[in-house]
Amino acid sequence: MDTEHADPRDLAAIRAAVDADDARASALGWEAVGAFEAEHGVVLPEPYRTFVAEIADGSRSGPPDFGLVGLAEMPGDWGDGRPERHLSRPFPLTSRWLWEDDPRPSEEIDPILEQVFSHGSIVLGTDGCGMYWHLIVTGPHRGHVWNISGEGAVPFGSEFGFTTAESGFGGWVKHWSADKPWFDA
């Protein structure tokens, strides 16, 4: 997975999956993407960076099931009262974590949990019922897509189990556009 250079094959697959009629908004352009990155102290990973600059800023039909939200947006069911998001702070996880089964007291879990939902990722969208897809923009898992829900967090990609898909935004979109279940392994 190359997070610095967009693979033309990934971009072609993304363009095929999200056509102009399906876009939530027109592509932002490189100047707007650069301004977002400067404001948040990050460089978006490829091919997502090229997607929002040249293809579209989100899509109505997906991925995920309720559509891909725009770069600076949050899903409609995100809710109020959540901690402030800090994209430049590293995403804290490198492997799956089911906090629902974690025996530690909430005083230990809650600070980490707050970071999982608010540090180092942009929210791509929701599959409903509190299941959100995040693209990690800072930290060791930069470029990976994660499914984060009320019960736990799981990285997406064949090397992590649970799916046969390639890692990263391109692999995530290709898997969705092939109409495969997210967790097909």
Domain, as residue range, for 64: 8-177
CATH number at residue 151: 3.40.1580
Residue 182 lies in a domain: no
Residue 53 lies in a domain: yes
Domain count, the chain: 1
Residue 67 lies in a domain: yes
List pLDDT tens digits, range 72-92.
Answer: 888 888 877 777 889 999 999
Higher pLDDT, 65 or 159: 159
pTM for the full predicted model? 0.94
Residue 185 lies in a domain: no
Mean pLDDT computed over every residue of the chain? 92
Residue 42 lies in a domain: yes
What average pLDDT does the segment 157-162 reach?
Answer: 93
Residue 183 lies in a domain: no
Phi, psi at residue 40, to the nearest 5°?
A: -105, -5
Residue 69 lies in a domain: yes
How many other C-beta atoms are found inside a 10 Å radius of the C-beta of residue 30? Answer: 13
List pLDDT tens digits, range 121-143.
Answer: 999 999 888 899 999 999 999 99
Helix (H) or strand (E) holding 31: helix 30-40
Residue 2 lies in a domain: no
